[in-house]
Structure 1
């Protein structure tokens, strides 16, 4: 007898429908009659995921301890594992006690079996993902944040507004000189003014990136300078000792960053830009980028192709007194009942903010006799002849050091044995 399935085309459709119906029927029967085995299988997979989750969590904790940031997809995996753990509590091993309870009706058994299969599929996917996470990196080092870290808030002085304004205009004016310079004697506040300009430029988003390098020292360490600049650019050198290859790579990294501000602080001599990997004037200008130099000497700025360096001068007598009074504290000055003595000490600081703060902090809470002794030391004390350092400035710093506790003084002298801007570890210092 010929049936519907024997009709061409129609027969194939009926066969497919029949297969789908049979498969659905068998799945339903499996859910209903094998639900205990399905739940046991789910619990077994959950146990495996729990083990993997512990491994990932331990690895993530170790990476955090090393200062790394966990990738978002790892955090998402942990979140999904937690959700699946909470949603499968109803299928916990204690479910085996169901045998002591009345047998669930067929509909309940069907639902439990079907849910167990669905969740087992998701658990298997999480398990596979967890294994892959353990085989690869799950965290990364955060980008180096290059921001000014001044110890004190920038204080504006009327005598310096002209220098600040001139430097700022040169920095933001399109078509102005690409290399700028700021110079002045030690302790006058060059670095602090530079940091304020840096902060303002960052706040107003004038540059895509600001890179600072403390050059310092009379001997230029090209590798060190390259490493510090590259660190802020997240540029990983392919060569550790080939200066030329490193310079080429660093130069292209700087050019690829777009409009940047490169700060070279405490410059003592002519810097070989090409040897380090710093683009030439035309390339800097074409990007809209700027190089800002700070130095003790005007000559050092000129040697580095800065055509019109800005000089930062010492404070006026009244500005110096205001800063000194703010550092020591008005109440402390009043308690001396001898403002003239305090003013004489302030005058000996030569109008240099760094010196004023050092001496002011050294005399905090000091007695009237201590102030008199300090003035006598500044006026009559023997001073060393150090190139570039005014004798009165040396005497002021010597006073601030002499007033330290012996342990603090020893610690300071030990720290001075390390290179400038070195990372000094406490264990090594001890």
Structure 2
């Protein structure tokens, strides 16, 4: 049928050569089959590229050039396939738009490549099929040429792979050449000698030194091994260079030889026999065993040794050095020491001792030398390598040239400094190698947003899907493995409930290494530096704009860019023109990061049909979106600092998985359009704003109905705009089983009478059915006269760990309803109330006067006739209690203050409570004196159970915050609660949410 229609169509074209017409017909009809073949070729080429890298098979320049050509074709193939699939998605969206409007009906795109069947949309499909067909034909011709070249030049990747040399370490060390590390020498040494914090519970304890390659783990182990106290303390010392792979028999033989140097030849390959010999040899000895350079994460390989090394003598020590946190865990470490970098002065000492042979050289080269030493960023191996490099260079010009160079551009640097990093790099699977090397596009000393980097990896297509696993879970796994291998550092944790890494940095040398591994693909152009970019191979570009920068026309030839990171602090630069030109030329972009002061995205953004990740940073400000933005149907992540409103056609972004905002203001007033509920693929929605009647109706709460894949934390703003209780039912929050955090935010009344508002707020909260797996809940500003009308459900949430309630000005009294107890005579029927709650906060409840204990008045608790408390178990895991801005509250119930795990109490700007519980003068100080950490009125009065007395200038580091000083206003920031990625800071005017990263 298709053949007939196409032939008829071409007959109408008049006198076109018959042969050419047949070729075109065959091309159009066969596109579907060619697309499928192309998919197969893409997979084959990817496997070939990965295999060549993993085998380190590239030897000659011809081989390298050939692989670069193949890599370029891989990208081109991927772009063609994505173009085809994008057209299919757009056709489905257009078809869906032709149906009667239903704002809550999701757009469903079939998960297959559609065949060409002539239809009313034929005119749209024909040009596409023609273009794709020709692109595939040209691509196949290029591939044929590339593979012919492989045969012509005799390129062979099937030879034996290179083995990356892993240096064998020994216990010998020249102590006079060691600088710094004094703090690291003492603690491990004390623990090794049995005078540290380790408890002697086994015959031996494992201590691990973990850190980046070249940071000095082996050197510290050598220092400990050769220390005279260690030599005297242990009956036997053993040094084993384990390296990779972890060969059990070889390791066992090495231990035997160390214990008994006179032992004869060890030809036995039976592990059981070897381990038995080890056990017999150390049976009555207190030993010190160093296992240097451990890589294995397989606990089964170490398990037999754990048993064989046990004996009847306590106090033995095993010291492990490794780059991998997981390896330390596998070895059963009871103490893990993460090595930090050296000081600049220590680096200078190492560098100068190697680089200078006499004092005269030191005089005129010291200034440059110190700058070079600081370039090492505290890495001892870098200082040694650079020092060796400079030994034979004596002119200031030579030294300045090296100072101005990238580390990876220096001669012999790969063999010296980068060699340890290459070992770690090649140990990674190919997908993680690409994730790591993609960090090269970010500047040095960049504070990475964890989520932004992970979503960038997703946008680039680096994440391989796995059955029954979400992409977000897989990419989290990638990040954790890279972090545990010491590729990242300076981790910053802002999550109040969990130690979740939200930002981090990369060591400069590691960044240099990432640049080295991507030097033909990743480029950076900073300010007024000369534009140097290989337009054919460039895939990732960071461009920093300055006023002095010359014409940018040359970069537009890099049409295959997949990442563009555009940044500038210039306020009067023509960014509109720059962006418009960029969007016309860089049509292959997968990731776009904008960190420059623009006001509006140009209409041409719709050209970026392959775009997966758009990150608009703080420097941009409130950006305006054109409606053409909604044509980016492949977009997965949209991360915005702030904007006034989202475009009306947002529902067309059917592949959107993450939509998040970072606004400076407490109330993010971005207007959400109708139809947002169609985006059923959303996994992350940081905030959802309910529309009001002023401008247009906007979103209703019911739009959340079908967004059941949401995870993380959701902030729902403008809850006061829910005027129909049915909307609360329609939201179906109970079906959001992946949500872990929820914030319900009410704003000031707008137009309605206060009594009406009070009644409505209560009805809305009563109608909401909370997600069952919540761990964090925040409620702000509702006008009801009770804490929460649906608390029976709340108190029974099995996973709730953080509860944060504030701004409820109509609440005067809190009683059993807070615990969800409706019948005070049958409390024992309620089981455990708030079984997992760890943190409880009440903020700015200005009219709150009474908090009644269970069934009693004031602080009394109910007892039966025998004097036994009959109350249910309440908050057995509560650790932190904060009361702030509750000026009229008189007392706290005993069931809170006697919670068995309560260790932190903060009372701030709550005058009556502060007086009643004040140390020394308060009538109820005895009721809280057992709590280990107490802050009253912004002053720390007790830490770890010890009283604190402050002078006017005293400062102290403690668990209440990074630093607490004796100032009247210090407490406002001390009691902080994080809602996902935001920190809440309270002030006189009430709570304010701000970006934690600031």
Query: Given the two structures, how large is their TM-score scaled by the length of structure 2?
Result: 0.23
Paired positions, count = 247
| More strand by percentage | 2
Structure-1 separation of matches of 2:311 and 2:302? 12
1:345 is aligned to 2:372: yes
Please give the residue correspondences for 1:77-116 in structure 2 after superposition, counting only pairs within 5 Å.
none
Instruction: Find the counterpart in structure 2 of residue 132 from structure 1.
Output: none
Please say if residues 239 and 292 of structure 2, whose CA atoms lie closer than 8 Å, have aligned partners that are also in contact: yes
From 385, 388, 391, the equivalent of 1:364 is 391
Structure-1 separation of matches of 2:381 and 2:374? 14
Structure-2 separation of matches of 1:238 and 1:368? 56
Aligned to 2:237, what secondary structure does the other structure show? strand
- How far the C-alpha of 1:208 sits from its partner, in A, is 1.0
Structure-2 separation of matches of 1:379 and 1:277? 42
Instruction: Find the counterpart in structure 2 of residue 255 from structure 1.
Output: 283
- How far the C-alpha of 1:294 sits from its partner, in A, is 0.9
Please say if residues 214 and 381 of structure 2, whose CA atoms lie closer than 8 Å, have aligned partners that are also in contact: yes
1:337–1:259 distance in 2 versus 1, CA, 3 Å: same
From 339, 343, 368, the equivalent of 1:312 is 339
Aligned to 1:255, what secondary structure does the other structure show? coil
Please say if residues 347 and 383 of structure 2, whose CA atoms lie closer than 8 Å, have aligned partners that are also in contact: yes
- How far the C-alpha of 1:249 sits from its partner, in A, is 2.1
1:147–1:339 distance in 2 versus 1, CA, 3 Å: closer
Per-residue deviation, residues 54-93 of structure 1 (Å, max 9, x unmatched): xxxxxxxxxxxxxxxxxxxxxxxxxxxxxxxxxxxxxxxx
From 247, 250, 255, the equivalent of 1:221 is 247
Per-residue deviation, residues 79-130 of structure 1 (Å, max 9, x unmatched): xxxxxxxxxxxxxxxxxxxxxxxxxxxxxxxxxxxxxxxxxxxxxxxxxxxx
1:279 is aligned to 2:308: yes
Structure-2 separation of matches of 1:348 and 1:203? 35
- How far the C-alpha of 1:149 sits from its partner, in A, is 1.4
Please say if residues 247 and 274 of structure 1, whose CA atoms lie closer than 8 Å, have aligned partners that are also in contact: no
Aligned to 2:405, what secondary structure does the other structure show? helix
1:285–1:310 distance in 2 versus 1, CA, 3 Å: farther
Per-residue deviation, residues 223-246 of structure 1 (Å, max 9, x unmatched): 111111111122457761222222
From 169, 172, 181, the equivalent of 2:190 is 169
1:297 is aligned to 2:324: yes
- How far the C-alpha of 1:220 sits from its partner, in A, is 1.2
Structure-2 separation of matches of 1:365 and 1:332? 15
- How far the C-alpha of 1:334 sits from its partner, in A, is 4.3
1:153 is aligned to 2:176: yes
Please say if residues 261 and 289 of structure 1, whose CA atoms lie closer than 8 Å, have aligned partners that are also in contact: yes
Please say if residues 171 and 225 of structure 2, whose CA atoms lie closer than 8 Å, have aligned partners that are also in contact: yes
Is 165-174 or 318-327 further displaced after alignment? 318-327
1:285–1:173 distance in 2 versus 1, CA, 3 Å: farther
Q: Over aligned residue pairs, what C-alpha RMSD do you find? A: 3.5
Structure-1 separation of matches of 2:367 and 2:264? 58
Structure-2 separation of matches of 1:171 and 1:304? 16
Structure-2 separation of matches of 1:338 and 1:147? 34
Please say if residues 293 and 322 of structure 2, whose CA atoms lie closer than 8 Å, have aligned partners that are also in contact: yes
Per-residue deviation, residues 320-364 of structure 1 (Å, max 9, x unmatched): 223222322384674673533222211222211122012112211
Structure-2 separation of matches of 1:286 and 1:170? 16
1:212 is aligned to 2:329: no
1:392 is aligned to 2:419: no
Structure-2 separation of matches of 1:232 and 1:298? 27
Instruction: Find the counterpart in structure 2 of residue 107 from structure 1.
Output: none
Instruction: Find the counterpart in structure 2 of residue 10 from structure 1.
Output: none
Instruction: Find the counterpart in structure 1 of residue 765 from structure 2.
Output: none
1:269–1:369 distance in 2 versus 1, CA, 3 Å: same
> Structure 2: which 5+ runs fail to align?
1-168, 426-485, 488-506, 517-998
1:195 is aligned to 2:222: yes
1:230 is aligned to 2:259: no
Structure-2 separation of matches of 1:284 and 1:369? 62
Please say if residues 301 and 309 of structure 1, whose CA atoms lie closer than 8 Å, have aligned partners that are also in contact: yes
Please say if residues 183 and 298 of structure 1, whose CA atoms lie closer than 8 Å, have aligned partners that are also in contact: yes
Structure-2 separation of matches of 1:361 and 1:185? 21
Please say if residues 381 and 395 of structure 1, whose CA atoms lie closer than 8 Å, have aligned partners that are also in contact: no
Aligned to 2:234, what secondary structure does the other structure show? coil
**Rg larger in structure:** 1
Instruction: Find the counterpart in structure 2 of residue 375 from structure 1.
Output: 403
1:147–1:359 distance in 2 versus 1, CA, 3 Å: closer
1:243 is aligned to 2:253: no
Aligned to 2:240, what secondary structure does the other structure show? strand
Per-residue deviation, residues 143-179 of structure 1 (Å, max 9, x unmatched): xxx983125635342xx33322210111111644711
Instruction: Find the counterpart in structure 1 of residue 440 from structure 2.
Output: none
1:203–1:252 distance in 2 versus 1, CA, 3 Å: closer
Structure-1 separation of matches of 2:405 and 2:387? 15
1:214–1:204 distance in 2 versus 1, CA, 3 Å: closer
Instruction: Find the counterpart in structure 2 of residue 326 from structure 1.
Output: 353
